[in-house]
Copies of this chain bind each other. A is one copy, B any other.
Amino acid sequence: MAKTDLEIAQECVMEPIGKVGAKAGIPEEALEPYGRYKAKLSFDFVKSLENEKEGKLILVTAINPTKAGEGKSTTTVGLGDGLNRLGKKTMMALREPSLGPVFGLKGGAAGGGYAQVVPMEDINLHFTGDMHAITTCNNLVSAIVDNHIYQGNALNIDPERITFKRCLDMNDRELRRVDIGRGAKVNGIKREDGFNITVASEIMAALCLAEDLMDLKERFASMLVAYTMDGKPVYVRDLGIEGAMAMVMKDAILPNLVQTLEHNPVLIHGGPFANIAHGCNSVIATKTALRLADYVVTEAGFGADLGAEKFLDIKCRLAGLHPDAVVIVATIRALKQHGGVAFEDLKEENVDAMRKGCENLAKHIDTIQQFGVPYIVAINEFATDTEAEVDALKAWCAENGHPLSLSQVWAKGGEGALDLGQKVVELCEQENHYAPLYDLDDSIEEKIEKIARKVYGAKGVEFTEEAQEQIRLFTAEGWDKLPICMAKTQMSLSDDGKVMGRPTDFTITVRELRPSLGAGFIVALTGNVLTMPGLPKHPSALDMDIDENGRIVGLF
């Protein structure tokens, strides 16, 4: 029987984190250890790198995710290991997993097979506590807002217009909408609230876009929490708790160092949702890696329509990053699913369906081409792929002039990405015309329309009356010069999660806008985007256990 990811990870004899750090040029005294195999980089060390020359930045993205699986994290890790095998000084910059999905269905997020980051259990559980710090920071704001109203409401806050929600790092649908302050008057003011999952919080987004602790404090101060009875915005700075919030985040702002199964250095830091937020690891970690390594491989959540668009339109623009190459990951299984094959039938060869599914891939390639960044298609091989399918895919790429690499990182680790690695190195030397797809000076509507037309392939955008009213309000407040963070289903290029492949002749409906002023973007919500997931009928938690020697089973 094939080994599970957890079994493979547990077999790994990890190197002490000091040795991993040394490989990246990080001196022992710059590491704040968390156990023997995890460390935070010290505050002073991160600061000391500010003027270092930056290496090449490689983004790994994917087609729209399917149940079949694509392996974006796995490819990111495998590519990083592959580049190191090729003698290139390479680091990876990944997102921190959320505990919610770990207990639910998705499982861990540290790669798979022989392309994993370890210690896998710790990374998928509490890691170095960043997620918990964010939860605390977020819920401090809520407690202070409600307490302010309860203690006299000097700011004249309208309890029905509090925009800042509580959060928990848990898949808990029961908390999506709650009525709080019930019972006796001493239990506070009665009002509606809801919990986001922590990774969907604005605190997470702000952490991931901050340049340093003082910038983060300023972002906190700018966060909108409510409106007054006469409609004026109330910010965190009006409550005076940005200092306490920054204090709570003093360790969480520092990048976390871990290693791949092949002992190469990885920074894992920050993990905002790629629907409600921008879906990339922290700017601080990405820049730190770029200043330490010649090549940095990073990823963005979900498909290129969400993660890559936001990476290129939001993160790179705001942080002044210059992406050198994009890897677009797909699997033959997933392409077949986009081509109309049911999940149960994926084992059977189906060249036609695969070719049809390539339309989804083609749209994401088109998007990356519009951004002007050199790209390559990476097919993450599965044992069930047939020769005919592989040949047909090669032919499709050749016909359309798309560079391609077949990677075997799940089975072989870095060894399985030598070809991909070599080609990526070459891409990094190619001409590069990176530019965001819209101007910040465009109106809110124009920005959204450009994303919908250029990235989703939509024929237009409809704005609900509520959204139109919000656009007027936001523009009046001067918030319209911010980039747009689209909240859309990840399952489809359209805003209907059931539509696979490459839909055409559709419109996108924007039903609500939310100002994430601390993160520095306006969220545009399309369809019914959940910011608090639920658990499935058989949650993974039911299969997890630990024995008397501390050995874990059932964590995937």
**Binding stretch for chain B, among A327-335, A516-524, A535-543:** A535-543
- Point out the residues of chain B lying under 8 angstroms from A177, CB to CB: 181-183, 187
Please, how many angstroms separate the alpha-carbon atoms of A240 and B192 in the complex?
33
- Establish whether residues A188 and B173, one from each chain, have CB atoms under 8 Å apart when the complex forms: yes
Residue A541 contacts which of B144, B178, B217 (CB distance < 8 angstroms)? Answer: B144
Interface of A (DSSP majority class) = mixed
Q: Which residue of B lies closest to A17 (CB)?
A: B33
Number of identical monomers bound together in the oligomeric complex: 2
Q: From B139, B170, B178, B241, give the contact of A140 (CB < 8 A).
A: B170
In the complex, identify which listed stretch (A146-154, A268-276, A369-377, A442-450) lies at the interface while the others stay far away: A146-154
Residue of B nearest to A40 (CB): B35
The answer to whether B174 and A187 have CB atoms under 8 Å apart is yes
User: For the complex, is A399 an interface residue (Cβ under 8 Å from B)?
Assistant: no
Chain A 241-256 interface mask (CB, 8 Å, partner B; 1/0): 1011011101100000
Q: Which residues of B contact A99 (CB under 8 A)?
A: 136
Given contacts A35-B32, A174-B180, A174-B189, are A250 and B541 in contact (CB under 8 A)? no
Looking at A125-133, A227-235, A286-294, A356-364, the stretch in contact with chain B turns out to be: A125-133
Write out the residue numbers on chain B whose beta carbons fall within 8 Å of the beta carbon of A554. 243-244
Q: How long is the Cα–Cα vector from A180 to B129 in the complex, in angstroms? A: 27
Q: Once bound together, how far apart are the Cα atoms of A64 and B116, in whole Å?
A: 55
Is A550 positioned at the interface, with any CB of B under 8 Å from its CB? yes
Chain B residue nearest to A532 (CB atoms) is: B187
Contact indicator A217/B546 (Cβ below 8 Å):
yes
Which A202-241 residues have C-beta < 8 A from chain B? 212-214, 217, 239-241
Closest to A29 in B: B36
Give which listed residue, B34, B147, B212, contacts A34 with CB less than 8 A: B34
Contact call A178/B176, Cβ cutoff below 8 A: no
Q: Hey, which chain B residues are within 8 Å of A535, CB to CB?
A: 143-144, 147
In the bound complex, do residue B545 and residue A244 qualify as a contact, i.e. CB atoms below 8 Å apart? yes
What residues of B have a CB within 8 angstroms of the CB of A126 in the complex? 129, 132-133, 136, 248, 251
In the complex, whether A186 has a CB less than 8 A from a CB of chain B is yes
Whether A175 sits at the interface, judged by CB under 8 Å, is yes
The answer on a CB contact under 8 Å between B174 and A125 is no
Contact assessment for B136 and A169 in the assembled complex, using a CB-CB cutoff below 8 Å: yes
Check: A534 CB closer than 8 A to any chain B CB.
yes
Q: Are A546 and B213 interface neighbours, CB within 8 A?
A: yes
Chain B neighbourhood of A135, CB < 8 A: 132, 135
Structural contact, B246 and A545, CB atoms closer than 8 A = yes
- Interface 1/0 per residue, A383-414 and B, CB below 8 Å: 00000000000000000000000000000000
- For the complex, give the distance between the alpha carbons of A172 and B181 in Å: 10
- On whether the beta carbons of B240 and A542 are closer than 8 Å, the reply is yes
**Chain A window 186-205, contacts with chain B (Cβ cutoff 8 Å), 1 for yes, 0 for no:** 11110011000000000000
Interface assignment of A142: CB less than 8 Å from any CB of chain B: yes
> Residue A539 contacts which of B147, B179, B545, B552 (CB distance < 8 angstroms)?
B147
Q: A93 interface residue, CB < 8 Å from B?
A: no
User: A43 near B: Cβ within 8 Å?
Assistant: yes
A244 proximity list for chain B (CB < 8 A): 103, 541-542, 544-545, 554
Given contacts A182-B192, A189-B174, A550-B43, A247 and B34 within 8 Å (CB-CB): no
User: Could you list 6 further interchain pairs (A-B, Cβ under 8 angstroms) beyond the known A139-B170, A140-B541?
Assistant: A43-B549, A103-B140, A144-B542, A150-B173, A173-B188, A186-B534
A-B contact pairs, 28 of them (CB 8 A): A32-B35, A33-B35, A43-B550, A103-B244, A126-B132, A126-B248, A126-B251, A132-B132, A142-B172, A143-B172, A143-B174, A143-B535, A147-B534, A150-B534, A174-B189, A175-B180, A176-B187, A177-B182, A177-B187, A178-B180, A178-B182, A179-B179, A214-B548, A217-B546, A241-B544, A244-B542, A244-B554, A250-B550
> Top 5 nearest A-B pairs by Cβ distance?
A243-B545, A132-B132, A177-B183, A244-B544, A244-B541
